[in-house]
């Protein structure tokens, strides 16, 4: 108990509560009557985040610098604490932070998934059964944004655990910043949870003017997402600096493991585009709190007298989608990297067209910056923009296709085996294919006019996210599980997980698309029985429950195997990757001696290993 109270998590949450209470108290002292008014709420939310930061210990080292204390970051298990303690506290080891991110991701996905089951059940037949419209609207927005937070933390989990190992480094470039970037998510998520109780009705996109007019939950929603986005940005700084500054001797850019390439492409997006969702959300908060009309198309009398132009709702959509389209590549590029990483191992063949795969990631990332307007085809945006964005959108299909053919080329003639991670990789391919094929109809103006805001879109993006993130993430967890825990997961449970989830997912996604084609709109609690979609809706609801059940089996497998699983070998998959050349679990210091790259990463069947450990003086480039 004593140890529980000293964890960074508990201390931070107490600090956050104190910060929030302080905000409410000071607002009262300055004359506010209702703490749920925009001003007091925003103020309390900001103080609550600061409270978490100070109390959790995530900024202690930096504050120590001001006192001239420049001790290097503490590495290794903290003395005098039980083994589990460091996983619940501020720790600088990238492996610990990776696990923290990974567990957080699973928790967030689980929470958001449970909420989905609630509104899914409401939708299984026409009529309003048990959810008020305002609650329904809050729940769909919460589901969306918490899933996104779950995906971002899942991506960060893979990046943190794998990138330093794969480039042969001891840790990330900035271990303290790394811990900061993880922990700042926690107060952000707490704010988003607060939004659930205070309610807001815009859905995950937060469009004004509704975002300015809706219930007080909007404030913690916008601010919480801002904080989570800040984490993404700092994480991206760290990953890029690690990939460019910390590589082992002999690891030229084109000898990096392909997952590192995909994280470079991902981080370029997260580094830059995230600023714009952050900005757009802060501007809405400013509009709510100070009446600064960036987005509402209304003018006060004094503004009229000044001759000021009004705010513009479309400005928000431009800023928002400039992030939120590229963001979908933040979700999928790491997953595609995992696919490229695992296929050669399970096909026992080199990755087909390594350079093309690497460059395709960069191309997807860069072209992805030029397509945001395809979310605004029906918004009243100019025709020139519509047509331009249509063409750029269709262009993204080219590098995506390149990747697909490279994967097929990798498998072609390979000696394939099908343990659970490989099943999830193949499942990912099949699902990403329908997700990807359902994209171009949305990207074409003439067809999107009919598809926009229907369940077709819901089907489209669930397929892309499951194929591009969820399946690869699950594959990655199974694949690196022995490396992380030192034990094997249960193969039978893994296969049951796969065979329950995959048909259910196909039913769900295709059912959603079909319902959309038949006229079912998105984001609405009720629908006309005459549409004839009730049967589809019921099927989708059942499928969603089966997916959830399969995820429970997954969670059980992970927890149970951590204690009871078979002890794992150092290299159960016969991988060439550096992290598989050391014992499982990976030792605290990662590698016994500096890593030296001596050949290509994916030469399966080749005579030379990818890396050796130099038992000599430190790497030559110092």
Interface with Cu ion, residue 576, by CB under 5 A:
no
- The nearest distance, CB 338 to another protein, in angstroms, is 24
Q: Which of residues 196-215 bind ligand HEM (CB under 6 A)?
A: 205
Interface with ligand HEM, residue 331, by CB under 6 A:
yes
Quick check: helix, strand or coil at residue 567?
strand
Q: Which residues contact 160 (CB under 8 A, 6 or more apart)?
A: 94, 95, 97, 98, 101, 172, 178, 182, 235
Q: How far is CA 4 from CA 48, 57, 84, 252, in A?
A: 21, 15, 10, 45
Q: What is the DSSP letter of 68?
A: T
Among 94, 247, 374, 576, binds ligand HEM (CB under 6 A): 374
Interface with another protein, residue 21, by CB under 8 A:
no
* 450's tokens: 């009919």
Interface with another protein, residue 384, by CB under 8 A:
no
Report d(CA 354, CA 59) in Å as an integer: 41
Tell the burial category of 500 from Cβ atoms under 10 Å away from its Cβ (0-12, 13-18, 19+). Answer: middle
271 binds, among Cu ion, another protein, ligand HEM, none (CB under 5 to 8 A by kind): another protein
Cβ-contact 99, 157 below 8 angstroms: yes
Among 30, 62, 84, 412, binds another protein (CB under 8 A): 62
Size of site (CB under 6 A) for ligand HEM: 24
Interface with another protein, residue 287, by CB under 8 A:
yes
Q: What is the dihedral of CA 366, 369, 375, 378, to 10 degrees?
A: -120
Phi, psi for 182 (deg, rounded to 5): -70, -50
Interface with another protein, residue 276, by CB under 8 A:
yes
Closer residue to Cu ion in complex, CB, 449/598? 449
116 binds, among ligand HEM, Cu ion, another protein, none (CB under 5 to 8 A by kind): none
CA neighbours closer than 13 Å in the CB half-sphere of residue 535: 4
Tell the burial category of 542 from Cβ atoms under 10 Å away from its Cβ (0-12, 13-18, 19+). Answer: middle
Report d(CA 36, CA 55) in Å as an integer: 25
Interface with another protein, residue 233, by CB under 8 A:
yes
Residue ranges of alpha helices (H) inside 531-600 are 534-564
Q: Which of residues 291-330 bind Cu ion (CB under 5 A)?
A: 325
Interface with another protein, residue 347, by CB under 8 A:
no
Sole window of 170-178, 208-216, 326-334, 542-550 interacting with ligand HEM (rule: CB under 6 A) = 326-334
Report d(CA 610, CA 120) in Å as an integer: 48
Among 56, 185, 238, 464, binds ligand HEM (CB under 6 A): 464
By CB under 6 A, name the binding residues for ligand HEM.
Answer: 205, 328, 331-332, 374-375, 393, 396-397, 400, 436, 439-440, 442-443, 448, 451-452, 457, 460-461, 464-465, 468
By CB under 5 A, name the binding residues for Cu ion.
Answer: 325
By CB under 8 A, name the binding residues for another protein.
Answer: 62, 65-66, 68, 70-73, 170-171, 173-177, 180, 233-234, 236-238, 240-241, 244-246, 271-276, 278-280, 283, 286-287, 290-294, 299-300, 302-312, 315, 318-319, 322, 621-622
């Amino acid at each position: 108990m004593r140890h529980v109270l000293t964890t960074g998590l508990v201390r931070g949450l107490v600090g956050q509560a104190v910060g929030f209470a302080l905000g409410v108290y000071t607002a009262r002292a300055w004359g506010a009557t209702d703490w749920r008014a925009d001003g007091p709420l925003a103020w309390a939310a900001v103080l609550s985040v600061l409270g978490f930061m100070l109390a959790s210990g995530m900024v202690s080292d930096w504050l120590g610098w001001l006192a001239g204390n420049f001790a290097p970051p503490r590495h290794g298990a903290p003395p005098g604490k039980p083994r589990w303690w460091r996983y619940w506290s501020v720790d600088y080891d990238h492996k610990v932070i990776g696990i923290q991110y990974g567990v957080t991701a699973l928790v967030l996905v689980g929470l958001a998934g449970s909420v989905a089951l609630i509104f899914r059940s409401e939708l299984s037949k026409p009529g309003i059964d048990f959810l008020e419209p305002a609650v329904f609207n809050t729940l769909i927005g919460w589901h969306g944004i918490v899933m996104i937070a779950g995906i971002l933390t899942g991506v960060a989990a893979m990046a943190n655990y794998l990138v330093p190992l794969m480039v042969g480094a001891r840790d990330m470039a900035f271990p303290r910043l790394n811990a900061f970037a993880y922990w700042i998510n926690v107060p952000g998520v707490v704010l988003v949870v607060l939004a659930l109780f205070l309610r807001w009705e815009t859905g995950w996109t937060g469009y004004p003017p509704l975002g300015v007019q809706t219930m007080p939950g909007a404030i913690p929603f916008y601010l919480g997402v801002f904080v989570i986005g800040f984490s993404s940005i700092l994480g991206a700084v760290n990953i890029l600096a690690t990939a460019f500054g910390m590589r082992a001797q002999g690891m030229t850019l084109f000898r990096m493991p392909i997952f590192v390439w995909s994280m470079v492409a991902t981080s370029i997006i997260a580094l830059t585009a995230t600023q714009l969702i952050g900005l757009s959300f802060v501007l809405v908060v400013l509009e709510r709190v100070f009446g600064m009309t960036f987005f509402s198309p209304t003018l006060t009398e004094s503004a009229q007298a000044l001759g000021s132009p009004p705010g513009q709702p479309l400005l928000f959509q431009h800023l928002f989608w400039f992030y939120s389209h590229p963001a979908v590549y933040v979700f999928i590029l790491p997953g595609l990297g995992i696919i490229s990483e695992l296929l050669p191992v399970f096909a026992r063949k080199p990755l087909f067209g390594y350079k093309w795969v690497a460059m395709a990631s960069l191309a997807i990332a860069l072209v992805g910056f030029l397509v945001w307007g395809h979310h605004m085809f029906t918004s009243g945006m100019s025709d020139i923009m519509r047509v331009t964005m249509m063409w750029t959108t269709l262009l993204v299909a080219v590098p995506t296709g390149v990747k697909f053919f490279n994967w097929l080329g990798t498998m072609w003639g390979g000696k394939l085996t099908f343990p659970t991670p490989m099943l999830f990789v193949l499942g990912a391919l099949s699902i990403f294919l329908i997700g990807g094929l359902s994209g171009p109809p949305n990207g074409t103006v003439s067809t999107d006019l009919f598809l926009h805001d229907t369940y077709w879109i819901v089907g489209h993006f669930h397929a892309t996210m499951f194929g591009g993130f969820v399946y690869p993430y699950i594959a990655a967890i199974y694949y690196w599980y022995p490396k992380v825990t030192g034990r094997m997961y249960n193969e039978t449970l893994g296969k049951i997980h796969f065979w329950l989830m995959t048909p259910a997912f196909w039913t769900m996604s295709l059912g959603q698309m079909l319902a959309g084609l038949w006229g079912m709109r998105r984001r609405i609690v009720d629908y006309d029985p005459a549409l004839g979609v009730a049967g589809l809706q019921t099927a989708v609801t059942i499928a969603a429950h089966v997916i959830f059940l399969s995820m429970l089996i997954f969670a059980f497998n992970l927890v149970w195997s951590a204690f009871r699983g078979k002890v794992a070998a150092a290299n159960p998959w016969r991988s060439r990757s550096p992290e598989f050349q050391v014992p499982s679990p990976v030792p605290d210091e990662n590698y016994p001696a500096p890593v030296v790259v001596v050949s290509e990463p994916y030469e399966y069947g080749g005579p030379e290993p990818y890396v050796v450990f130099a038992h000599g003086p430190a790497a030559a480039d110092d």
